[in-house]
Amino acid sequence: MQRRQFLKGLSAAGVLCSLGLAGCALPRSPQSYLIGGGRRAQDRYVVQALNLDGSLRYELPLPDRGHGMAVHPHMPLAVCHARRPGGFLSLFDHAEGRLLQVRKADPRRHYYGHGVFSADGNRLFTTEGVGDSSEGIIGVYALAADRLEKVAEYRGFGIGPHEIRLLPNGNLVVGVGGVHTQGREPLNLNTMAPSLSYLDATTGALLEQATLADKHLSIRHLAVTHDGEVFTGQQYRGEPDDYPPLIVRHRPGQPLQPLGGTTLDWARFNHYIASIAVTDTLIAATSPPGNCYGLWHRHSGELIRIAPLPDASGASAKGENIWLGSGQGGISRLDNGGREQRFYSAYQWDNHWALIDA
C-alpha cells in the first residue's frame, strides 16, 4: 500500500487488534485528545483532533501538508508547521477547534516543519531556512493577542535544521540535518555536515555542537527528557546497503551514544526515523518507510522489540504511556511495561502529533 493511501470501510472507532492487554476499546476521556496533521480525499490537508475513542473532534483546513506540532505550555493554543520546505504556520485554539492565524513564510525563507514554545509561552521558536542556500535560521516569534509576529532570527549553527526542542534549563536544542536541498532534492550529500546544536534561547548563541563520525547520518528528530537527556533520530543518506544505528542519546559535554540493535535490526527502519517519545522507562521511535516502530529500555538502551505498524508516524509520551500513530489510521498505546493496545480508525495521521491531556 502506498504511503498515505486512504483506507476504505473503516469505522471511526473500530478496533483492529489488541496486543498484550485485555480489552477491545480505546480508553475514553472527555478531556484528552490527539492533535496533528492529516489528509482527506483529493489531497485536501487538515489539522485534526481526535478523541481517544477514535471519533473526530474537529478538523481545520491547511494550505498544504502539515508536519510538526508546537503546543503552548499554558493556553489552549497550538501551531501546525508546514512540511519542509513549507510556506506557512497555522496557529489555532486546540480546545475549541478555532483557526486563529495562517502566517506565510517570509520572502526567500521556508519552514522546516517544527517549532517549540518557550517555557513561559511568550515566544515561539521555529526551524527555517534561506531558500537558495538552506542556511539554518531559528525564527523567533512573539505571541500577542492570538497572533504570531517575528521579532528575531538566530543563525550560525549550520544548514537544514529540522526539529527543535526546549531543554529543562530554557535553552534550545536543534537537530541540524546538514543537507542543502532544492525543494526536497539533496544537493550536497558528499559534503553534508549534520550536528546536534545547543543554542541560548535569549541570544541565539551557539553553546555546543555534537557530531557523529558518519556524516551521512542526517540528525533530524528529537525527544528531550525532564532531566535534559536528548534522543536524536537520524535519516541515513549514505550507501543503500549500509544500516548504521539511527537513534543516539546525548548529554551536553558527552559523546553521542547509539541505542542497541544489530545491523539487521536497524535495516528494519529503512534508513528513516520519524518521531521519538521517551518515558522514565521506555524509548519508542517510528519509521514510516519501515512500516514499524522500535522500543528500547530507557536507561540501558537495550532493544526490546521492533513491531509492525503500517506507515508508523506520530509518537507522544504522557506520564508512563506512549501513543503511536499511523498514516494508515492506526493508534497504539504502550504502557510502562511496553504492552500494546492497537486500534484503527478512519482518520490518518501525518508524521507527528501531540496528546492533549487537560
**Whether pLDDT at 167 is above 70:** yes
Beta bridge partners of 181: 186
CB half-sphere exposure, 108, CA atoms < 13 A: 6
Q: How large is the average pLDDT for residues 132-153? A: 93
When mean pLDDT is compared across 199-208, 246-255, 349-358, the lowest value belongs to 349-358
What is the enclosing helix (H) or strand (E) of 266?
helix 263-267
When mean pLDDT is compared across 272-276, 296-300, 350-354, the lowest value belongs to 350-354
3-class SS shares of the chain: helix, strand, coil, % to 5: 0, 50, 45
Predicted confidence band of residue 251 (pLDDT cuts 50, 70, 90): very high
**Whether pLDDT at 185 is above 70:** yes
Comparing 125 with 183, the larger pLDDT belongs to: 125
Q: How large is the average pLDDT for residues 188-194? A: 82
Contacts of 38 (CB under 8 A, 6+ apart): 45, 46, 47, 48, 59, 66, 347, 348, 349, 350
3-state secondary structure 291-323: CEEEEEECCCCCEEEEEECCCEEEEEEECCEEE
Burial class (CB in 10 A: 0-12, 13-18, 19+), 89: buried
Instruction: Name the residue type at position 291.
Output: N
- For residue 30, what pLDDT is reported? 53
CA gap 229, 259 in Å, rounded: 13
- For residue 16, what pLDDT is reported? 35
Predicted confidence band of residue 131 (pLDDT cuts 50, 70, 90): confident
CA gap 346, 329 in Å, rounded: 6
- For residue 40, what pLDDT is reported? 84
Comparing 237 with 265, the larger pLDDT belongs to: 265
Contacts of 337 (CB under 8 A, 6+ apart): none
Name the phi and psi angles at 263, rounded to 5: -55, -40
Contact 338, 305 (CB under 8 A): yes
Percent of the chain with pLDDT over 90: 72
Percent of the chain with pLDDT over 70: 91
| Residue that is written with C-alpha cell 541505542 in the block | 259
Predicted confidence band of residue 151 (pLDDT cuts 50, 70, 90): very high
**Whether pLDDT at 22 is above 50:** no
Predicted confidence band of residue 348 (pLDDT cuts 50, 70, 90): confident
**Whether pLDDT at 200 is above 60:** yes
CA gap 290, 36 in Å, rounded: 21
What is the per-residue pLDDT across 97-115, written as a single tens digit (0 to 9) for each? 999 999 999 999 999 999 9
